[in-house]
Amino acid sequence: MTETHPRSRDAEYAVVVPTLGRPGLRVCLHALAEASGPGPLRVVLVDDRPGPVRPPLTADVPPSLRSRTIVVPGGARGPAAARNVGWRAAGDVPWIVFLDDDVVPGPTWGDDLTLDLAAATERTAGITARIEVPLPTDRRPTDWERNTAGLAGAHWITADMAYRRAALAAVGGFDERFRRAFREDADLALRILDAGWTLTGGRRTTTHPVRPAGRWISVRLQAGNADDVLMTRLHGRHWWRRAEAPRGRLPAHLAVTGAAVTALGCALLGRHRLAGACAAAWLAGTAEFALARILPGPRTRDEVLTMAVTSTIVPPAATWHWLRGRLAHRKARPLTPLGTGEPAPAPRPAVRERLRS
């Protein structure tokens, strides 16, 4: 994919990559440049790194893409806002393909995308890619690796998702209240479906590697419970079924945390029998949670220690973020066919930096 190929206007596309400057960006762009098939009309890198002093992204862009690449600032407002900046800066192209900066498009990605776009009808708003998550073959995957592997079955994941520009404009793009890389893709897809468009699966393949993560990654991920509250406020309590999203363990986490808080309260009030019963319930719930995470894994000393420790922290963390979401999104109104009635954020003019070879 070293040059753009002649093609019909309907098959033209731009690639938008929000990035935090992670090392995977170079790999992603080089795989895009080397893939067979018609290349993008334009590549938009949305620099979403915080702070005014940042090393340039120029070195990550392969020479064959430089004349077609622009860099725009994202403002460090999260992936939803960064993607909005990107597709609005991409210009008048029929299709916008969103890629994460840590994915690797397959060797025939351009050819396969062309076939995906050719199969689209006038009502097709988006086409997903097939996401592959490579897992270790010499041992059982860790909890974090299994979590990442779930992306392969996720619906409408924007790690590689082609959207018709007209559909994005019709619904106002991504909802920028989703500040994390979580649920912003499902929210957009449900709003597009509600607007009468369709979403289909494509044939192009993209690899999503498991990135390195620390011991506390499972605790940090509980922040997504606040985003789930917003999803419920916007789309109703049955949005899980429409998005075919797993429900997770929030009800169990609330129960386990409630048992711990009640045990502590009863102990302070001198009600030792009830405190003991609640403490036993907390211990049983925590042990069940830890075993559910340990048994499918490699069961190494480090993994068992990590699961044992974080299994005591995850339930209260999930509860905290759920309560935080209930407070933060208490005024969010349900979506209607005409939208929420809330003012859409005004598009910000993009300051463009065109790369030169």
Task: Kindly state whether residue 83 falls inside one of the protein's structural domains.
Answer: yes
Query: What are the Cα distances from residue 223, in Å, to 110, 182, 201, 228, 239?
Result: 36, 9, 29, 9, 19
Residue 151 sits in the same domain as residue 27: yes
Q: Which residues, other chains included, contact 187 with Cβ-Cβ below 8 Å and sequence gap of 6+?
A: 174, 175, 178, 230, 231, 234, 235
Nearest to 86 by CA among 22, 155, 24, 158: 158
Residue 161 sits in the same domain as residue 75: yes
How does pLDDT run along the chain (357 residues), one tens digit per residue? 645 555 677 889 999 999 998 889 999 999 999 999 999 999 999 999 987 767 788 778 999 999 999 999 998 999 999 999 999 999 999 999 999 999 999 999 999 999 999 999 999 999 999 999 999 999 999 999 999 999 998 889 999 999 999 999 999 999 999 999 999 999 999 999 999 999 999 999 999 999 999 999 999 999 999 999 999 999 999 999 999 888 889 999 999 999 999 999 999 999 999 999 999 999 999 999 999 999 999 999 999 999 999 999 999 999 999 999 999 999 999 887 655 445 444 454 444 555 544
Look at residue 349 in the predicted model and tell me its pLDDT.
46
Look at residue 246 in the predicted model and tell me its pLDDT.
87
**Tokens 């129960």 sit at which residue?**
255
Angle of helix 272-294 versus helix 250-268 axis, rounded to 10: 150
Half-sphere exposure of 207 (CA within 13 A, CB side): 14
Q: Are 352 and 71 in contact (CB under 8 A)?
A: yes
Residue 246 sits in the same domain as residue 205: no
Task: Kindly state whether residue 120 falls inside one of the protein's structural domains.
Answer: yes
Q: Are 105 and 28 in contact (CB under 8 A)?
A: yes
Look at residue 69 in the predicted model and tell me its pLDDT.
96
Residue 176 sits in the same domain as residue 238: no
Nearest to 39 by CA among 71, 72, 21, 66: 66
Q: Bridge-partner residues for 131, per DSSP?
A: 206
Query: What are the Cα distances from residue 278, in Å, to 139, 264, 304, 322, 341?
Result: 38, 9, 25, 22, 45
Task: Kindly state whether residue 356 falls inside one of the protein's structural domains.
Answer: no
Question: How many residues belong to the chain?
Answer: 357
Residue 189 sits in the same domain as residue 272: no
Residue 313 sits in the same domain as residue 236: yes
Task: Kindly state whether residue 349 falls inside one of the protein's structural domains.
Answer: no
Phi, psi of 330 (to 5 degrees): -65, -25
CATH code of the domain in which 112 resides:
3.90.550.10
Look at residue 17 in the predicted model and tell me its pLDDT.
97
Residue 237 sits in the same domain as residue 128: no
Residue 220 sits in the same domain as residue 300: yes
Alpha-carbon span 64 to 38, nearest angstrom: 13
Residue 288 sits in the same domain as residue 301: yes
Task: Kindly state whether residue 354 falls inside one of the protein's structural domains.
Answer: no
Global pTM value: 0.89
Task: Kindly state whether residue 2 falls inside one of the protein's structural domains.
Answer: no
Residue 207 sits in the same domain as residue 177: yes
Task: Kindly state whether residue 351 falls inside one of the protein's structural domains.
Answer: no
Look at residue 16 in the predicted model and tell me its pLDDT.
98
Q: What angle do CA 57, 61, 63 make, to 5 degrees?
A: 140
Domain count, the chain: 2
Look at residue 341 in the predicted model and tell me its pLDDT.
42
Given 161, 192, 213, the domain boundary residue is 213
Q: Bridge-partner residues for 17, per DSSP?
A: 45
Residue 236 sits in the same domain as residue 202: no
**Token reading at 12:** 């033209």
Task: Kindly state whether residue 258 falls inside one of the protein's structural domains.
Answer: yes
Given 213, 242, 275, the domain boundary residue is 213
Domain that holds residue 283: 215-336
**Token reading at 133:** 């998550």
Q: Are 94 and 10 in contact (CB under 8 A)?
A: yes
Look at residue 56 in the predicted model and tell me its pLDDT.
81
Residue 107 sits in the same domain as residue 174: yes
Look at residue 8 in the predicted model and tell me its pLDDT.
74
Given 169, 195, 213, the domain boundary residue is 213
